[in-house]
Amino acid sequence: MSSSTTTKGGRASSLSTGVESPGRAAVGARTLRTDRWWLQPAATFAFLSAWVIYATVRVCVHNSYWVAKDHYLTPFYSPCLTKSCTPDSALFGRPFPNFPIIIPFAILTLIFLLGFRMTCYYYRKAYYRSFWGSPPACAVAEPHKKYTGETRFPLLVQNSHRYFFYAAGLISVINTIDLVESYRYGLGLGNIIMLVNVLGLWAYTASCHSCRSLMGGRLNHFSKHPIRYRLWTQVTKLNGKHMELALGTLVTLAVTDGYIALVAAGAFADPRIIS
Ligand code: FES
């Protein structure tokens, strides 16, 4: 099998790579693992697929996204920017005309959020393994004959992750403004669910590898930069939970959206603690 690999200088060479490359043990079987190695990629595939289907349907239905009485706006529609948005839900105005049904009201932010998650180090590992089988698990040969990694288009764009990080930080600010705005109208179960979601989103964003690099990168001596060292230490602790935060925030996003959708549709009233 002939394919390319990356040299020390970052350029692709024509050396053979992969499990059949020279010097590797000739193992006929795809893997010698006897445990249920396929379970994790299969579960990841099912979870991410279900979430994407749910999110796609929700951002395209264009209803049940805003609870006027309690001022709850689902994160899937924040910020609501088109003329179709209920005026009170559009905290940042409605500069765009009506969108066709397949275009989400919050298209501008959703593009950046999608970019942020798609280029995230954890998600890359998750979907490379579970959707592309590249490789499906440790010590399991991948089905592809060629591997060029992320050195060429289209996967080269994964390197844009640090820019999406800044955009995601800005969008977390917008989610926080939505949350603060909702507290001006009292306190209910919905506020608490939104709070958990916003805290999760901040923790996920702060645990990003780009954030860690921003805090502690390009320094020769931590001792000369005690504040950055302290920030880097805290981000490093969060970074160790990056996978959990990446998956957990998908859950909190869906729960927040689902709860607001049900209240907005009149399925039940939001239990109020302070009206
Ligand atoms: Fe996952 Fe940056 S590495 S969000």
pLDDT by 10s per residue, the chain, length 275: 334 444 444 444 444 566 667 777 777 788 899 999 999 999 999 999 999 999 999 999 999 999 999 999 999 999 999 999 999 999 999 999 998 888 999 988 999 999 999 999 999 999 999 999 988 999 898 877 777 788 888 899 999 999 999 999 999 999 999 999 999 999 999 999 999 999 999 999 999 999 999 999 999 999 999 999 999 999 999 999 999 999 999 999 999 999 999 999 999 999 999 98
Ligand 1 center from residue 36 Cα (angstroms): 28
Instruction: Tell whether ligand 1 has an atom less than 6 A from the beta carbon of residue 209.
Output: yes
Longest dimension (CA), the chain: 71
Q: What's this model's pTM, rounded to 2 decimal places?
A: 0.89
Q: Which two tokens stand for residue 45?
A: 């595939």
Closest-lying ligand 1 atom to the alpha carbon of residue 123: 1
Closest-lying ligand 1 atom to the alpha carbon of residue 121: 3
Q: 138 lies in a domain?
A: yes
Report yes or no: 21 and 9 within 8 Å, Cβ to Cβ. Answer: no
Q: 30 lies in a domain?
A: no
Per the structure, the count of domains in the chain is 1
d(CA 220, CA 74): 44
Report yes or no: 3 and 145 within 8 Å, Cβ to Cβ. Answer: yes
d(CA 55, CA 171): 17
Q: Which two tokens stand for residue 92?
A: 């940042």
Half-sphere exposure of 266 (CA within 13 A, CB side): 0
Instruction: Tell whether ligand 1 has an atom less than 6 A from the beta carbon of residue 120.
Output: yes
Closest-lying ligand 1 atom to the alpha carbon of residue 116: 4
d(CA 185, CA 183): 5
Q: 10 lies in a domain?
A: no
Ligand 1 center from residue 9 Cα (angstroms): 25
Place of tokens 């919905």: 190
Q: 15 lies in a domain?
A: no
Q: 5 lies in a domain?
A: no
d(CA 121, CA 22): 30
Q: 4 lies in a domain?
A: no
Q: 118 lies in a domain?
A: yes
Residues 6+ apart with CB under 8 A from 54: 254
Q: Report the chain's terminal Cα–Cα distance, integer Å.
A: 69
Amino acid at 197: N
Domain that includes residue 190, residue range = 38-143+150-274
Q: 23 lies in a domain?
A: no
Ligand 1 center from residue 214 Cα (angstroms): 12
∠ CA 72-74-80 to the nearest 5 degrees? 95
